[in-house]
Amino acid sequence: MEKSLLRKVSDHEWHIRPHGAMRVPGVILATEKLIGEMDHKVYEQVVNVASLPGIVRGSYAMPDAHWGYGFPIGGVAAFDPAEGGVISAGGVGYDVSCGVRTLLTGLDASEIEPIRRELADLLFKRIPAGVGSTGRIRLSEPEMDAMLAGGASWAVGRGYGSPEDLARIEERGRMEGADPEQVSAQARKRQRDEMGTLGSGNHYLELQRVTSVVLPEVAAAFGIGVGDLLISIHCGSRGLGHQIATEFVRQMAIEASRHAIRLPDRELACAPINSDLGRSYLGAMRAAINCALANRQILTHLTREAFAEILPQANLRLLYDVSHNTCKVEDHVVDGTRRRLYIHRKGATRAFGPGHPDLPAEFRTIGQPVLIGGTMGTASYILVGTKDGEELSFSSSCHGAGRNMSRKQAIHQWKGREVVDYLDARGITVRSPSMRGVAEEAPGAYKDVSEVVEAADRAGISRIVARVEPMIVVKG
């Protein structure tokens, strides 16, 4: 991205002055180096989002921002229905409620070294992964409706986990306002056999070693220390979420002109929040959020079963579960007035600061755990939300490393088997059904996650708590 197009506010905040159809400024929270690595399309998409009706305060891009569908991945925007605000299926994304959950194990990472390959093989056997992967659960229509309405609460009620898990999940495991009737027969068909599966792309189950702690008091409150073994699961709403996005993007593109909405890009197809189509999409999207929450809950149960078989002394407790492709209704203070807004976070993580009433009691004085996935060959991070994030980014932070090249470019540069062997030599055991998929997700295809999270920390939208590194990766 050309820095001359931006106004530098600080070393970690850059603005795009409103021009043309923009209703609010663009705000990019990143270092100068990360700005230079962003493609120009990020600039264009931040500008385009800023032109949508009812947008409030700014069109934001997080430090890991890169070109996405309509919105940049790493894009955040708030809309007020009282001012004609819109909801955009592209602004939520195709993998609705894709997210990360991290589990504590009560083990030291060194305890798995003697059985690393055996454990990797068992997890790969028990966790369905890859394109078109299916699980052992097949949902009837009544059960599909119950899952779409109940989310992780439904899963716990069916024996997949315990009620204690729910307090550590956004929305306490169930997104209110879901309307299963808005989920099409095709979306249901695609999901019928996919519950409890990782899927493909950048999804994974990863065993991680905590290598450093930056904020000891926060880390202790989160239950983590140097040397601990953690487990992170990254996946979303699978075929159901993708189908919902596909259908509503098409409908919104047709409907926009009927509401006199001028789209700078067809991918920004949207509908007024208070329209029939807007309400239908909200109902379907919230059902997809519940699908993702239920999916990660089932995967947690499968992981616990595997550990009980080979490491029965482990105690797999949920640290937290966060989503990064959503639109949620939240109260935020804008110009001194508290307003109820619809916050789009596409490839961006909610990061509530201390004192927020939606946090579990044990985190309320500390802030929300923010889980940032890296790559299978680098680090991941645990951060915590800040008070300042409310004003800086509507309590939002980055979500991962962010790609710096396309999957097509990656497979021309790397071979999957070479990546697996290279990582194995470094002590990282990878299991995947697809060597092509491994090549697409080669660590070199991503930005430096450490620089991304340091930018988020310095910008004040979240603070680094701990760094973790992969030991075993089950890749989709």
Question: Does the active-site annotation cover 399?
Answer: yes
Q: How far apart are CA 342 and CA 376, in angstroms?
A: 33
Q: Other C-beta atoms within 10 Å of 83: how many?
A: 12
Distances (CA, A) of 216 to 149, 219, 223, 467: 39, 5, 10, 12
**From 12, 301, 344, 399, active-site residue:** 399
Q: How far apart are CA 175 and CA 281, in angstroms?
A: 14
Distances (CA, A) of 434 to 97, 373, 439, 476: 24, 20, 9, 8
| Cβ–Cβ < 8 Å for 342, 56 | no
Q: How far apart are CA 48 and CA 66, in angstroms?
A: 14
| Cβ–Cβ < 8 Å for 430, 406 | no
Task: Enumerate the active-site residues.
Answer: 399
